């Protein structure tokens, strides 16, 4: 829902903190999840993650969440799915060149980023290319996996 997208960017600080808590919880639980089998966790976790993120961000479940870096504005709602935006066509009034009825998701991302503490702002970090093999998978689980890998190395 478009109005919720805007709301989420306005409340990016709270939502980013909530994301951290989810990640920390999954990192703590990770050894237990491994025993059960990470593959088996994927579906039940997506049962919660997908509707929650669809409602708040119009998430497209790309499996590689950048919300923490983009002011809680999902770049997958850009008609060109640009992961490092905006494109050259964003209008002077901040509207999208492809869908003039909506604000450019990268303008919203910039606004959402301004609500974060300076040390939390990561919008200028270049995002890697999208791995389409991860579409539909749990981005929360991927983030926890990455954190666990870093802690174990
Ligand atoms: S104006 Fe913004 S939302 Fe529209 S296509 Fe360009 S980057 Fe994407």
Return the ligand 1 atom nearest residue 99 CA. Answer: 4
CA of 96 to the centre of ligand 1 (A): 5
| Contact predicate 66/76, CB 8 Å | no
Inter-axis angle of helices 2-10 and 105-114, nearest 10: 30
- What are the residue ranges of helices labelled H in 84-138? 105-114
CA of 77 to the centre of ligand 1 (A): 9
Report residues whose beta carbon is within 6 angstroms of any ligand 1 atom.
78-80, 82, 85-87, 89-90, 96-98, 104-106
pLDDT band for position 1 (cuts 50, 70, 90): confident
Asked if residue 2 has pLDDT above 90, the reply is no
Nearest CA to ligand 1 atom 8: 78
Tell me, what's the pLDDT at 141?
95
pTM of the full structure = 0.91
């Amino acid at each position: 829902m478009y109005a919720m997208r805007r709301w989420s960017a306005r409340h990016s600080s709270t939502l980013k903190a909530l994301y951290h808590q989810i990640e920390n919880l999954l990192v703590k639980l990770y050894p237990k999840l491994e025993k059960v089998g990470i593959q088996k966790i994927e579906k039940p976790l997506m049962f919660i993650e997908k509707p929650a993120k669809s409602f708040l961000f119009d998430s497209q479940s790309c499996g590689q969440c950048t919300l923490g870096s983009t002011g809680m504005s999902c770049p997958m709602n850009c008609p060109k799915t640009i992961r490092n935006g905006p494109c050259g066509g964003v209008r002077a009034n901040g509207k999208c060149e492809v869908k003039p009825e909506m604000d450019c998701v990268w303008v919203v991302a910039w606004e959402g980023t301004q609500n974060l503490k300076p040390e939390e702002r990561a919008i200028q970090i270049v995002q890697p290319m999208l791995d389409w093999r991860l579409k539909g998978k749990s981005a929360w689980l991927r983030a926890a996996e990455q954190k666990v890998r870093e802690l174990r190395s």
